[in-house]
Structure 1
Amino acid sequence: MIKRNNLLVFILTIGVFGILDTEMGVIGILPDIADHFDVSVSKAGWLVSFFALVVAVSGPTMPLLFSGINRKKVMLLVLGVFVLGNIVSIFTSNFTILLLARIIPAFFHPIYCSLAFSVAAASVSKKEAPKAVSKVFIGVSAGMVVGVPVASFIASAISLQMAMVFFAAVNAVAFIATLLFVPSMPVKARLAYGTQLSVLKKSMTWLSIVTVILLNSAVFGVYSYLADYLKTVTNLSSNSISLLLFVFGGANIIGNIVAGKLLTKNAKKSVVSYPFVLGAVYILLFFTGQFTVPMAIITLFWGVLAGIGGNITQYWIMSAAPEAPDFANGLFLTAANLGTTFGAAVGGFIISDMGTQYVVLVGILSLILGLVTILLRNYMYSSTKQLST
């Protein structure tokens, strides 16, 4: 049973990696896409921004609509759509078709990711659930971190089409592994849509959503401009910047493993402590970011905390609405994407108004507000518990 559950979580991790790889991997080949399709780099960027926008919009609705269907069938459907979308991307010479080949799979992205978190958590005991989910998050981090340099390397070494083949191949591997090794998982007790939507009536759910938006804003509002920060503030070379971005990504994966252990041991303490620890890192970043060695050390710790943050925010929404796991995970995906968009927008405004060095302010402000919502939710939970007893 343990081996079967471990294999299931591993396959889910590959599946999530393939989907996030498809979403984020094109960042590394946007100039190649612009040249190949004869469009501007900013227009090629639509492949990223439209994808993220669709994920944010479909996050709560698509997992809800598919929540009553056999889990294995849903996995195969989503992975199949991604494989087909990637195959179209390989052979098309029309940018509009390429854009559609990404937008359509993007609608299915939240279904698989929310389902992966739910199935991983359900495959083990309630206490061990955060560890199982943290393993799936490794696929998320790897998809975001590994996909960009790998796609860029393949495009420069071989061709743009072969980079697209890489995306299709990873999803195809996940599809075949699911088909062969994942058992049929019918939904035994289908939750009514109304029952799942009723979690939105709870103040705890909304406080959790706002917390996820703020904590994601705190991480990605600053990280979005890390390359620019390393160039303009730390004055690093292009190779050094690439190395530190890789360090951040590798540390992010480590953070997922650490998060699983922290949340299993003491979830409440871990969540409350998080804004203080990340805030301390940002303060150090502000005062020592111009020095190479301190910046390298900060990047390492920051990457670990970013990985922990993803797990913490998913846990925070799930623990607020455990009665509707698929819908709750969909809400998490939407809130996370909104937080990233909001943080990046505010960070850009601060940079244009005050300078790149001050981008950490969006992180610190978001953490302060996030801590307020965390403490409010804890107070509300304690009050409710006292009334019930």
Structure 2
Amino acid sequence: MTIVDSATKPTASAGERTPLTRWLAVVAMAVGTFALVTVESLPVGLLPFIGSAMDVSEGTAGLMVTVPGLVASATAPLLPVAIRHLDRRVALIGLITLMVLANGLTALAPNFAVLLGSRFLVGISIGGFWALAAGLAVRLVPERSIPRAISVVFGGATAANVLGIPAGTLIGGLADWRTAFVAAGALGLLVLVALLLLLPPMPAQQVVQLRTLPQQFRHPVVRAGVLATFLLVGGHFAAFTFVSPILQTTSGVDEAMIGPLLLGFGVAGILGNFLAGAAAERNIRATIITIGAVLTVVLGLFPLAGRTPVSGALLLLAWGLAFGGVPVAVQTWILKAAPESTEAATALNTSVYNLAIALGALLGGIVATHLSVNAALTTGALFTLLTSLAVWSARRS
């Protein structure tokens, strides 16, 4: 099989809209990913407030992050199967509507059980939207602009890690945690209006059947892309889960500087997202290999070269720059590898992405507990090193 240099062309109905309107629709989907990623991780900065209000421990309150992540991992591959011939515009609008309603339920929840139920609904919205959005964005733009459109969509997720979570935490601190979820729901409502106005009808181009999902693994290039996703994301989270203690114990960074440094990491990630999108237009294989190599060098050198606050900060920025390009790079690979089954391949890749987050963090925790946080860095470096081998193995396909 061959990695083609094109993907699904804009549909006829999408072509009836002006180029500006189509790009505005792509931006609306990017704001949608921003809202969803913000909602998914919003409890991280609000756990003490939520735990106190609901009379549960912070560890129990952390289920508000775990539940939607696991549900999203299951929803991503199953939703395209469930919706079959449903117009994808209707599906996206329905998923954003579900997110708005779920946030309203979160804000009004009288007890923790209802709160977790609302987060279950959020997980459905996240998994479904991520599985569909990138594949739909490429139907709105010319072929030469596909990597750029994917960069825009995933840029919304990267921006959420930089701006969305701190903003939500600030709102929760100034008002209360329920107000933060109301604000996130209000943003989702704006996205809903924008999609209604800007997104054209987008009939299903493929009917995804359950057996179609495992069939993607038979495609050697898709298989290499999914494996690259697992290794890059898993390796990153094996180390990044412990970035705060790493900066403090290895680099000697003052606790008060952790927040600003992580903000810098996020800003570098946004830049890396768009740089990788531009590079993917020229050579997607070289882009992923470069990302894997940079992450390997950064994670591998951190315990040795990151022993001062300045060197630790510089390595952290390089880390953010490299990892920021991962979502757009692997998604571009998948879309080019399987243009005839974009929804099935994207859904599978989205599911693996979410699983890699959970398993990478779990493995990193085991290593950090039994060895050290620097060993978690080495574990991450080994994962990212294997990425280049996985991608290079598809060179003849």
The correspondence for 2:143, drawn from 126, 146, 154, is 126
What amino acid does structure 2 have at the position aligned with 1:227?
A: S
List per-residue Cα deviations over 1:291-333 (Å, max 9, x = no partner). Answer: 0111111111111111111212222333332211112111111
Q: Counterparts of 1:293-312 in structure 2 under 5 Å? A: 293-312=310-329
Q: 1:192 to 1:362 in 2, by over 3 A?
A: closer
For 1:104, the equivalent position in structure 2 comes to 121
What amino acid does structure 1 have at the position aligned with 2:237?
A: F
Residues 25 and 143 in structure 1, CA contact (< 8 A), matched pair in contact too = no
For 2:342, the equivalent position in structure 1 comes to 325
SS at match of 1:221: helix
Shift of 1:247: 0.7
The correspondence for 2:156, drawn from 117, 124, 139, is 139
Separation in structure 2 between the aligned mates of residue 204 and residue 82 of structure 1, nearest angstrom: 34
Separation in structure 1 between the aligned mates of residue 85 and residue 390 of structure 2, nearest angstrom: 32
For 1:207, the equivalent position in structure 2 comes to 224
Identical columns (%) = 26
For 1:352, the equivalent position in structure 2 comes to 369
The correspondence for 1:50, drawn from 67, 76, 82, is 67
1:339 paired with 2:356, answer yes
For 2:21, the equivalent position in structure 1 comes to 4
Shift of 1:231: 2.2
1:80 paired with 2:97, answer yes
Residues 24 and 147 in structure 1, CA contact (< 8 A), matched pair in contact too = no
Separation in structure 2 between the aligned mates of residue 183 and residue 59 of structure 1, nearest angstrom: 23
For 1:38, the equivalent position in structure 2 comes to 55
1:193 paired with 2:219, answer no
SS at match of 1:183: coil
For 2:77, the equivalent position in structure 1 comes to 60
Separation in structure 1 between the aligned mates of residue 84 and residue 244 of structure 2, nearest angstrom: 40
Shift of 1:108: 2.9
What amino acid does structure 2 have at the position aligned with 1:191?
A: V
Separation in structure 2 between the aligned mates of residue 106 and residue 6 of structure 1, nearest angstrom: 27
Shift of 1:192: 5.3
Shift of 1:112: 1.4
- Range that drifts further, 310-319 or 333-342: 310-319
Aligned length: 379
- Range that drifts further, 251-260 or 101-110: 101-110
Separation in structure 2 between the aligned mates of residue 112 and residue 66 of structure 1, nearest angstrom: 13
SS at match of 2:86: coil
For 1:370, the equivalent position in structure 2 comes to 387
1:262 paired with 2:279, answer yes
The correspondence for 2:303, drawn from 258, 277, 286, is 286
Residues 22 and 198 in structure 2, CA contact (< 8 A), matched pair in contact too = no
What amino acid does structure 2 have at the position aligned with 1:203?
A: P
Shift of 1:194: 6.7
SS at match of 1:235: coil
Separation in structure 2 between the aligned mates of residue 48 and residue 210 of structure 1, nearest angstrom: 25
Q: 1:272 to 1:91 in 2, by over 3 A?
A: same
The correspondence for 2:174, drawn from 143, 157, 164, is 157
Residues 77 and 351 in structure 2, CA contact (< 8 A), matched pair in contact too = yes
Shift of 1:171: 0.7
Shift of 1:339: 1.5
What amino acid does structure 1 have at the position aligned with 2:151?
A: S
SS at match of 1:60: helix
Separation in structure 1 between the aligned mates of residue 83 and residue 289 of structure 2, nearest angstrom: 34
Query: Any stretches of 5+ residues in structure 2 without a counterpart?
Result: 1-17
What amino acid does structure 2 have at the position aligned with 1:199?
A: Q
SS at match of 2:324: helix
Residues 63 and 330 in structure 1, CA contact (< 8 A), matched pair in contact too = yes
Shift of 1:259: 1.1
Shift of 1:49: 0.8
Residues 67 and 326 in structure 1, CA contact (< 8 A), matched pair in contact too = no
When normalised by structure 2's length, the TM-score is: 0.91
Separation in structure 2 between the aligned mates of residue 367 and residue 262 of structure 1, nearest angstrom: 19
Q: Relative to total residues, which structure has the larger helix share, 1 or 2?
A: 1
